[in-house]
Amino acid sequence: MQPLAYIPSPSQGIWHIGPVPIRAYAIMIILGIVAAVWLGERRWAAKGGSPGVVIDVAVWAVPFGLVGGRVYHVVTDYQLYFGEGGDPGRALQIWQGGLGIWGAIAFGAVGAFIGCRRRGISMLALADAVAPGIALAQAIGRWGNYWNQELYGRPLDAFWAVEIDEDHRPMMEGGPGLDPQYADVATYHPTFLYESLWCIGVAVLVIWADRRYKLTHGRAFALYVAGYTAGRAWIEALRIDHAHHILGLRLNDWVSILLFLGAVAYLYRTRHRTGPENVGAAPEGPSSGTSGPGEEKSGPEDGADASGKAEPESPKDAPERDAEDGTEPAGPGEREDGKTGAGAEPEPASAKKDTADEHGADEHGADEDPADEDPVDDRPADEKTGDEKTGDEKTGDEKTGDAEPGGERAENGSAGDGGAARAAREEPVKDGK
């Protein structure tokens, strides 16, 4: 059976540079590892982790994973190496193909655990970061099966079918020789292609779900396991290579079912799990305005806030400040700059606001000569209030004998409680009349 269109088989999968063989299968595995580390580093940095952590852990995880993948394949297909007519030496020929993903993940997890312990980071956080990268590595690595013409499915007459040479078609069980059932069949289901595309979809799914739902504490990795096993189950059912069967299902089908159920159960049990994860982020170095080790951080000066601006002075603190500076507080009708009476320049409206709310005022005014001060009216505050007019004008009866009519009042515009408080602090001055 030869369809009109199909995916051709590669003419060769090994090239030689001098005595060194370059195998396409190994190249696909290496490219997959590089892609997984690259994507894992980017996702780890997005979690706030230190650069280079994924590479350091991969130094442990990759060798463990390769050994585990080979061990799984040899154990599940032991008859090929230790059965009748088998060659145990072929069990070490990893370049001939034969890596079980479940063994690779299991042993790789052991290596990752060692690497995470050495770096002092959470293994679950790292697993979430590298989960889509593992799926991408599988998508690339499956093309190694194409170069080796292995792991294909049932016969297929379609334009996407893959051509398989006679030397790589199914052999008779228990001995050499081509299986007559497939002797005249040239094209088959490209299960390697199905799984490669499926793994790319799983990687995209994990990245999207992680951004959408913030999958942490191992949930992104669990989603990868659930997604991959769901596809592996139906892809495995298409394959015709020899495998162990249990209750009518291939061994890898049972493994996929169990792992799928376990991943879904984990997702359900940790659906509300939140909290910080230990990603081992490097501490930021000292920057400008921050204190280094052993140094005390200087705070803002008294009377200034964090931005360096002076805080407004409370009205009740003003007399105490004047007493400490040795200056007399400004009396009624007298400004702090020493100008009084009618000769004083009129202040803008904003200057007549309450001193307690006024910003930018001079906290330490110039010392004033007590001799230049006007005599202070020592009448009770209630008598003075009755003589005042509305607005900013005073009556002709001023508080002191020397003050001229129309003299400027205190900054508040009235001889209220603030003026009375200041008058009470000054020494009594005799009437000059």
142 marked among binding-site residues: yes
Note every long-range contact of 203-208, with CB atoms under 8 Å and residues 24 or more positions apart, other chains counting.
203/39, 203/132, 203/133, 203/135, 203/136, 203/139, 204/132, 206/131, 206/132, 206/135, 207/132
Residue 49, φ and ψ in degrees, nearest 5? -80, 165
What are the residues whose beta carbons fall under 8 Å from the beta carbon of 97, sequence distance 6 or more?
25, 144, 145, 148, 150
Q: Would you say 266 and 222 are in contact if contact means Cβ atoms under 8 Å apart? A: yes
Query: Helix, strand, coil proportions of the chain in percent (round to 5)?
Result: 45, 5, 45
Q: Would you say 426 and 417 are in contact if contact means Cβ atoms under 8 Å apart? A: no
What are the residues whose beta carbons fall under 8 Å from the beta carbon of 193, sequence distance 6 or more?
7, 142, 146, 160, 162
- Distance (Å, rounded) from C-alpha 66 to C-alpha 83? 23
Tracing tokens 């599940």 back to the chain, one arrives at 76
- Distance (Å, rounded) from C-alpha 235 to C-alpha 196? 11
Annotated binding-site residue numbers: 142
